[in-house]
């Protein structure tokens, strides 16, 4: 399981010109599901992300988590995080989990974030999404479990 986390001032996901998720500040989490990923990994990453200290305190130091800040999250399924570009010019996505495996794990991951206390919205699995990210910092963190 791979997560690309971006600290944002705002984030929005639209499908067919209709907003499906929107936050004012917090995290936009691009989540890739690979073979062998399971609920245990989803739970681990959700707990890690919810307590990750990547927000600044009054002294400008990374000492606060999304929970400390009262922020929200948007989770966007992103199979392209499993792109293999070692050969040729076109990425291969054979390492990404198939939709019937990935879709429920993306939802479970979002549920685990909610259980941690993070208000969480999601994009639409399998849809062509327009993801608007106003990266704050910029702060972008890569996590893999």
Residues annotated catalytic, as ranges: 78-80
5-32 burial, b for 16+ CB within 10 Å, e for fewer? Answer: bbbbeebbbbeeeeebbebebbbbbbbb
Tokens representing 38 are 């399971």
Write out the E strands in the chain: 2-15, 18-23, 26-32, 55-56, 62-64, 72-77, 120-122, 130-144
Is residue 82 within 8 Å of 102, Cβ to Cβ? no
Beta bridge partners of 55: 64
Cis peptide bond upstream of 28, omega within 30: no
């Amino acid at each position: 399981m791979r997560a690309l986390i971006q600290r944002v001032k705002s984030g929005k996901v639209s499908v067919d010109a209709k907003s499906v998720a929107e936050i004012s500040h917090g995290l936009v989490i691009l989540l890739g599901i690979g073979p062998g990923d399971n609920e245990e990994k989803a739970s681990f990453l959700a707990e890690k992300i919810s307590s990750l200290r990547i927000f600044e305190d009054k002294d400008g130091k990374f000492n606060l988590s999304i929970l400390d800040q009262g922020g929200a999250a948007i989770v966007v399924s992103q199979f392209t995080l499993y792109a293999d570009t070692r050969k040729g010019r076109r990425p291969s996505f054979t390492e990404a989990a198939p939709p019937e495996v990935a879709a429920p794990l993306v939802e479970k991951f979002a549920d685990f974030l909610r259980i941690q206390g993070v208000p969480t919205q999601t994009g639409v699995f399998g849809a062509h999404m327009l993801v608007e990210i106003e990266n704050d910092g910029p702060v972008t963190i890569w996590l893999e479990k």
